[in-house]
Amino acid sequence: MAGPPPLPGKAAAAADPDAPEPSTVHRFPAILLQPPSQRRHNHSRSTKLLRSFRSAFRALPIIATPPGCHIPTSALSRVGSSGRRDCHVHGTRTTGTLFGHRKARITVAFQDNPRSVPLLLLQLAVPTARFMQDMGSSSLLRVALECEKKVAGEKSCVLDEPLWAAYINGRNVGYAAKRDPTELDLGVMQLLHAVSMGAGVLPGDMTDPVDGELTYMRAYFDRVTGSKDSETFYMLNPDGNDGPELSIFFVRI
């Protein structure tokens, strides 16, 4: 009686002893990221009416400064005469991560906490190294992302828009696009799950031979909603130090 047939893998190995070894695969830590929180509140009818009434007064107008770049008035009111933001006004604390290969476009991710899946992930048409250089050379960096209203009485949130015109300190730098997280994005979030604040370079096996090292910067941000057409993320410096300040404004005009 003939013996059992050889295993396919062994037969292939014997047939082709010079076959190349499988390529290196990034191995990310087995950390299960949490889904973004879905905050649902059960308010009474009177409470909902009161909240709607108050929301009407929180919707502040938008002014142009500089020309071609719109920043919500509520954002300007948070900056004092010294140019520093008023730290007595707070929103919802969010984790923000800026990362990317040095020569590739920078990615910005916002999470409920360092262990959650990004609730917002977008890519700016600016090389990572250039953006980090701008942060190092400027004490106040303002990123304004603008989009147009498609129809009157738009009901969706400004963060639901897929594309924005991007300005950095009033300079047009192209566009910012919202996208779904890739395997690499989720891998970066997993590697940084224990990091609340900091900056550095991720392991060497994540370096791209063309685009260079994969760098990151992570900090807490205040998320402040002015209206359905304006939302702002303010980077929080630890212990109120004098490090660079970063503000990201989303505006629908």
Write the DSSP assignment of 117-139 as a string of letters. --SEEEEEEEEHHHHHHHHHH-S
Structure tokens at 17: 């002893």
pTM to 2 decimal places: 0.69
What pLDDT digit, counting tens, does each position of 12-67 carry? 444 454 544 444 445 555 556 777 765 433 444 443 433 443 343 333 333 334 45
Residue 25: the pLDDT is: 47
| Nearest residue to 144 via CA among 237, 62, 243, 238 | 62
What pLDDT digit, counting tens, does each position of 118-138 carry? 999 999 999 999 999 998 888
Residue 150: the pLDDT is: 81
| Nearest residue to 118 via CA among 195, 35, 202 | 35
Rounded to 10 degrees, the C-alpha dihedral 241/127/225/244 comes to 10
Q: Where are the alpha helices (DSSP H) in 140-226?
A: 183-191
What are the Cα distances from residue 104, in Å, to 4, 48, 165, 246?
Answer: 53, 45, 19, 20
Half-sphere exposure (Cβ direction) of 88: Cα atoms closer than 13 Å? 2
Residue 164 and residue 145: Cα distance in Å, rounded? 5
Run of H or E residues at 10: helix 8-15
Residue 136: the pLDDT is: 85
What pLDDT digit, counting tens, does each position of 227-238 carry? 999 999 999 987
Residue 31 and residue 44: Cα distance in Å, rounded? 39
Model confidence at 166, pLDDT cuts 50, 70, 90, reads very high
Residue 233 and residue 246: Cα distance in Å, rounded? 8
Q: What 8-state DSSP symbol labels residue 34?
A: B
Peptide bond into 66 cis (omega under 30): yes
Residue 90: the pLDDT is: 53
Average pLDDT, the chain: 76
- The answer to whether the CB of 154 falls within 8 A of the CB of 129 is no
Residue 72: the pLDDT is: 58
Residue 158: the pLDDT is: 93
What pLDDT digit, counting tens, does each position of 177-207 carry? 999 999 999 999 999 999 999 999 999 889 9
pLDDT at 145 over 60: yes
Residue 116: the pLDDT is: 94
- The answer to whether the CB of 141 falls within 8 A of the CB of 124 is no
Identity of the amino acid at 250: F
